[in-house]
Amino acid sequence: MASQPVKVSSSKMRLAIGTLCQFLSLSGFSPISPETLRQAKFNKREAVGPLLSLLAELIDFSTATQCAKSPQFNREETVYVVHSGMLSRHFQRRQFYLCLDIDNSTCHSSRELLIAIGWLICTESLLKQMLFSKETSSLRSFPDVSHKLQERKIYMINTREDMEAPSSFEQYLNGLVWNMGKCRLATKQWYWKEQEIVKLAHKIHVATQGVSLAKNRVCLSPADVTILRYKDKLEKHLHTVEKENRRLQMFFQWLEKEEIFWQWMESVIDAENSERIQNEDPAARSQVDDSYPFDDYSKTLADLSSQLDTTLKEVTQRMQFYDKSLMEKSVPSGETGNPLDVRFEFVPKRVKDHIPKSIVHSQSDWSPVGGIKDIEEEILILSKRLSSLEAKLLEQRDAFSCSCTEMLASIDGVVSIPPILCNQR
């Protein structure tokens, strides 16, 4: 594949695709046009049929038979062969399997088929296999009996399918013996066919000693004799040779243009990606974004960081404000104030006395959390002190009212009126 994407002209690309198509066609696969591949790039439905057949044939070729166009699959079989074939080759493209509709024996995406064909050709070096395969070569040995073997194979399969379910073991045994007998007699026929070939080849070798069309042979081959004897076969043979020659040329051309083709295949995948992105709606895209958990985490972290910054700033500002106000409201040493207003008397002293010099922070290093804590503690202490003072005041008031009552009781003609505060209590 192309290691570096280089801009290639469309004519060169067309040539590369055409080379591949011609090579496949000359190797005996279903003919396919470059236009079909182009349509597949843009995911046109017209290209589905030919590409599906081609993919099935390629899979069949690479599986075991090594014979292009050997079986004529119907539509259902084609989809099944394609599905199972690609699955067994570990082709892991999810979209490909999603677009294969086995129930309706079709495929919804020609582009996926094209990508699968490209993948198969690339991973299994199929074109090289085709070049060296005898079955795909036009120059098969004479006489060509492969179609006979194929017919025989189909006949045997049909025979097996035709057999009715035996109703008894005896019937089953008879059926088995019958089929075994057929195999035995067919093998005999094959043996005599082989004998015939050997005899005829020997006759030809003896009769054509010293006459040769090839350098490394001293006599004519059976194929040579057939050609020389039958004029029409000579023409057919020439046509075959020309076809094989063209196939080889196509392969050489393919080797030159291969890189361009794979670049084009990359563009097919790019087209697929870009189309996917375009087709998605924003909601779906956000859903897709949400599906990436690290994005979430980073976003949350960023939010938290900014929140922390602002909080810190606010706290620092508040602390500075508190510091200033404390400094301004602090009472100078030796000055006596309201005995009840103990707060302003206590706080500066505590600050100065209780905080060791070594851990006194500068204004910038002030810990807002520590400051708040101290303030809260101070508020707590002060509120306790306040409540204790209020209790003392209440006791003194009670004591005062009792002494007043005792004093007034000793003086005649004086009525004692209790203070409002006491009543309120």
158 in contact with another protein (CB under 8 A): yes
* Choices 10-18, 171-179, 289-297, 392-400; region in contact with another protein by CB under 8 A: 171-179
Q: Which is nearer to another protein, 203 or 318 (CB)?
A: 203
Q: Output 180 or 409, the one with its CB closest to another protein.
A: 180
Alpha carbon of 81 to those of 54, 59, 60, 160: distances in Å? 11, 8, 8, 22
CB of 233 to another protein, least distance (A): 16
Between 194 and 233, how does the x/- string for binding to another protein read (CB under 8 A)? -xx--xx--x------------------------------
Rounded to a whole number of angstroms, the minimum distance from the CB of residue 183 to another protein is 8
Residue nearer to another protein on the CB measure, 185 or 422: 185
C-alpha 384/C-alpha 393 separation (Å) is 14
Q: Which of residues 329-358 bind another protein (CB under 8 A)?
A: none
Give residue 386's Cα distance to chain centre: 71
**For another protein, the closer CB: 177 or 327:** 177
Decide whether 45 or 188 has the Cβ nearer to another protein: 188
Token pair for residue 318? 């508040």
* Closer residue to another protein in complex, CB, 175/370: 175
Examine residue 418 and tell whether it contacts another protein (CB under 8 A). no
Tell me which stretch binds another protein (CB under 8 A): 20-28, 191-199, 206-214, 406-414: 191-199
Distances in Å between the alpha carbon of 109 and those of 30, 41, 101, 117?
19, 10, 10, 13
The least distance separating another protein from the CB of residue 203, rounded to whole angstroms, comes to 8
Q: Which residues neighbour 201 within 8 Å (Cβ) at sequence distance 6 or greater?
A: 222
Q: Is 385 helix (H, G, I), strand (E, B) or coil?
A: helix
- Do residues 204 and 225 touch, judged by C-beta distance below 8 A? yes
- DSSP secondary structure string for all residues of 67-136: -TT-S---HHHHHHHHHHHHHHTT---HHHHHHEETTTTEES-HHHHHHHHHHHHHHHTHHHHHHH-TTT
- CB-based burial, 195-229: b 16+ in 10 Å, e otherwise: eeeeeeeeebbeebeeeeeeeeeebbbbbbbbbee
Q: Give CA torsion, residues 22, 25, 30, 35, to 10 deg.
A: 10
Of 166 and 370, the one with the shorter C-beta distance to another protein is 166
- Window contacting another protein (CB under 8 A); options: 23-31, 188-196, 262-270, 275-283: 188-196
Among residues 46, 151, 270, 395, the one that binds another protein under rule CB under 8 A: 151
DSSP string, 178-198: HHHHHHHHHHHHHHHHHHHHH
Considering only residues 87, 98, 139, 163, which one is a binding residue for another protein as defined by CB under 8 A? 163
Least distance to another protein, CB of residue 234, Å: 20
Residues that bind another protein (CB under 8 A): 148, 151, 155, 158-160, 162-164, 166-167, 171-172, 174-175, 177-182, 184-186, 188-189, 191-193, 195-196, 199-200, 203
